[in-house]
C-alpha cells in the first residue's frame, strides 16, 4: 500500500517523500482512513510503530481548509505526558505540515509562559501540550476551545500513570461536545478504558498486535550479574562489542552519578539526565545524544519518560524496572520503523520476580548471555513463565 492510496493530499505526500517514508506502517494503514472518516478512535500502539504520523497526517488533511483562525483559538489539541514528548511531537507536526499553511506549537510547563501566550494570542491550528500547562492557559483565558475540532490523547496510559487524570477531566469539560476524539496508548488498561468510556463516544478500536509485547525488530537479551559487578560489565560490553551508542536506564540519580564516574574512570565519556537537571540542560544533552556527539547517556526512568530518540540502536536496563510497562516502553525506544535495535537487561538475583513478570507479559523468556570473567556469585534462578506476583502487574 502507498500513502497516496490513503487519500492524502499532494503537500502531505511531498513532505513524506522528503522524509523518505515510502509506505505506511500497519498502524498508519488502519488509523488514517478511520480518522479521515471523522470517527472516534482508540488505538493500542506504542512508540516506534509510526503512531504519531497515523494521527497527525489525517488531522493535517482535515484542517487544511480555507478556514481562518481566530485569536486565542486552536483547532486541534494533542495532549502528551511530558515536555520532551511535546517538543518532539510538535517537530513531527512541523515536518509533516511543511508544505501546508498550518501553524503548530508545543506548550509545556517548566518554561516561561509569556512566549507561549504571545503565540496563542494570534491563534494556532495545532497545539501539542502537557495537561498542566494547557489547563493553566485555559484558566488564564488566553486559550478558548470553541473552535476545537479534534482532541488527541497520546500515550494515555503514561498520562494516567503520571497522575494527570484530574487535569485531563477538567480540560475535557471545557471542550465543545462536537469534536473528534482519538486516544493512543501502549496498553489499554482498565484506567484507560474508563477514561475512554467517559470521554469518547462509540470509538472504533484498533490494535497493532506486536505492540502488546515487542516489535520483532528488537533483539532482547539479558545477562545475569552480581550488583557490584554491573559497571565493570557495562564497560566491558561497550569496549568489546564496540557499541556506537546506548541509552542506559538506571533507578536513582545517585546511582546515575556513580555510574558516570565509574565509566569515566574507565575512559568512557558519558552524560546523564535526571530529575534535578533543568529543562534547558536536558534538552541540550538530548540533542547532543541524538546528533551523536554524546554516545552514552545514563538516564533515570523519570527523566527519560517521553523522550523520543530516533533509530536508537541500543537501550540498556542497567536496573531492571519494577513495572512491566516501563520495560515495554523502554525497549520501544529501539528498533523503530525501518531500523533494528537491541535491548539488554542486567539482571541481579533481587530482580528475579520482576524478570518473571516481564517475561510472562512478553510470552517468552529472554535469551540469556554470559561473558567470560563475569561469573555470578548470586545465581538468578531459571525463569518461570506465567509467574504471578503478589502485587498483580497491570
Measured distance CA(282)–CA(285) in Å, rounded: 5
Among 31, 32, 43, 48, binds ligand AMP (CB under 6 A): 48
- Binding to ligand AMP by CB under 6 A, coded x per residue (else -) over 275-314, reads ---------------------------------x-x----
Give burial (CB, 10 Å; 0-12/13-18/19+) of 368.
Answer: middle
Of 217 and 266, which has the nearer Cβ to ligand AMP? 217
Please report how close the Cβ of residue 178 comes to ligand AMP at its closest, in angstroms.
28
Stretch that binds ligand AMP, among 46-54, 120-128, 171-179, 206-214 (CB under 6 A): 46-54
Our finding on whether 13 is near ligand AMP (CB under 6 A) is: no
- Binding to ligand AMP by CB under 6 A, coded x per residue (else -) over 15-44, reads ------x--xx--x----------------
Measured distance CA(160)–CA(311) in Å, rounded: 27
Of 157 and 359, which has the nearer Cβ to ligand AMP? 157
* Selection from 275, 276, 272 nearest residue 286 by Cα: 272
CA Rg value for the chain:
22
Please report how close the Cβ of residue 267 comes to ligand AMP at its closest, in angstroms.
32
Our finding on whether 51 is near ligand AMP (CB under 6 A) is: yes
Of 33 and 235, which has the nearer Cβ to ligand AMP? 33
With a CB cutoff of 8 Å and minimum separation 6, the contacts of 5 are none
What DSSP assignment string belongs to 209-230?
GGGGS--TTEEEEEEE--GGGH
Of 3 and 108, which has the nearer Cβ to ligand AMP? 3
Please report how close the Cβ of residue 112 comes to ligand AMP at its closest, in angstroms.
28
> Angle formed by the axes of helices 51-63 and 83-96, to 10°?
50
Our finding on whether 158 is near ligand AMP (CB under 6 A) is: no
Measured distance CA(378)–CA(230) in Å, rounded: 13
Please report how close the Cβ of residue 38 comes to ligand AMP at its closest, in angstroms.
22
Q: How many CB atoms lie within 10 A of CB 23?
A: 11
Our finding on whether 334 is near ligand AMP (CB under 6 A) is: no
Our finding on whether 53 is near ligand AMP (CB under 6 A) is: yes
Measured distance CA(20)–CA(370) in Å, rounded: 39
Amino acid at each position: 500500500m502507498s500513502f497516496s492510496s490513503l487519500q492524502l493530499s499532494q503537500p502531505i505526500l511531498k513532505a513524506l517523500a522528503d522524509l523518505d517514508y515510502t509506505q505506511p506502517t500497519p498502524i498508519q494503514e488502519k488509523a488514517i482512513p478511520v480518522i479521515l472518516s471523522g470517527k472516534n478512535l482508540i488505538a493500542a500502539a506504542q512508540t516506534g510503530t509510526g503512531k504519531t504520523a497515523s494521527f497527525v497526517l489525517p488531522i493535517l488533511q482535515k484542517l487544511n481548509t480555507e478556514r481562518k483562525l481566530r485569536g486565542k483559538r486552536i483547532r486541534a489539541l494533542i495532549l502528551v505526558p511530558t515536555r520532551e514528548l511535546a517538543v518532539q511531537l510538535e517537530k513531527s507536526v512541523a515536518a509533516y505540515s511543511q508544505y501546508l499553511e498550518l501553524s503548530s506549537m508545543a506548550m509545556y510547563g517548566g518554561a516561561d509562559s509569556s512566549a507561549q501566550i504571545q503565540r496563542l494570542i494570534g491563534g494556532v491550528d495545532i497545539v501539542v501540550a502537557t495537561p498542566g500547562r494547557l489547563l493553566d492557559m485555559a484558566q488564564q483565558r488566553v486559550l478558548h476551545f470553541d473552535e476545537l475540532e479534534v482532541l488527541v490523547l497520546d500515550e494515555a496510559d503514561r498520562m494516567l500513570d503520571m497522575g494527570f487524570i484530574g487535569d485531563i477531566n477538567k480540560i475535557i469539560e471545557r471542550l465543545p461536545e462536537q469534536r473528534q476524539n482519538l486516544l493512543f496508548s501502549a496498553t489499554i488498561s482498565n484506567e484507560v478504558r474508563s477514561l475512554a468510556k467517559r470521554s469518547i463516544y462509540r470509538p472504533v478500536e484498533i490494535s497493532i498486535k506486536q505492540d502488546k509485547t515487542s516489535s520483532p525488530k528488537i533483539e532482547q537479551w539479558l545477562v545475569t550479574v552480581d550488583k557490584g559487578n554491573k559497571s565493570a560489565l557495562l564497560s566491558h560490553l561497550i569496549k568489546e562489542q564496540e557499541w556506537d551508542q546506548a541509552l542506559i536506564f538506571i533507578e536513582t540519580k545517585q546511582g546515575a552519578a556513580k555510574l558516570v564516574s565509574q565509566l569515566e574512570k574507565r575512559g568512557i565519556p558519558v552524560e546523564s539526565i535526571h530529575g534535578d537537571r533543568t529543562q534547558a540542560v536536558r534538552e541540550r544533552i538530548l540533542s547532543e545524544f541524538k546528533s551523536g556527539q554524546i554516545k552514552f547517556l545514563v538516564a533515570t526512568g523519570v527523566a527519560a519518560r517521553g523522550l523520543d530518540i530516533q533509530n536508537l540502536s541500543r537501550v540498556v536496563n542497567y536496573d531492571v524496572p519494577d513495572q512491566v510497562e516501563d520495560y515495554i516502553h523502554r525497549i520501544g525506544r529501539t528498533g523503530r520503523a525501518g531500523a533494528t535495535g537491541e535491548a539488554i537487561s542486567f539482571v541481579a538475583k533481587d530482580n528475579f520476580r520482576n524478570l518473571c513478570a516481564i517475561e510472562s507479559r512478553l510470552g517468552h523468556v529472554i535469551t540469556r548471555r554470559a561473558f567470560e570473567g563475569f561469573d555470578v556469585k548470586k545465581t538468578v534462578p531459571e525463569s518461570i513463565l506465567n509467574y504471578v506476583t503478589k502485587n498483580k502487574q497491570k
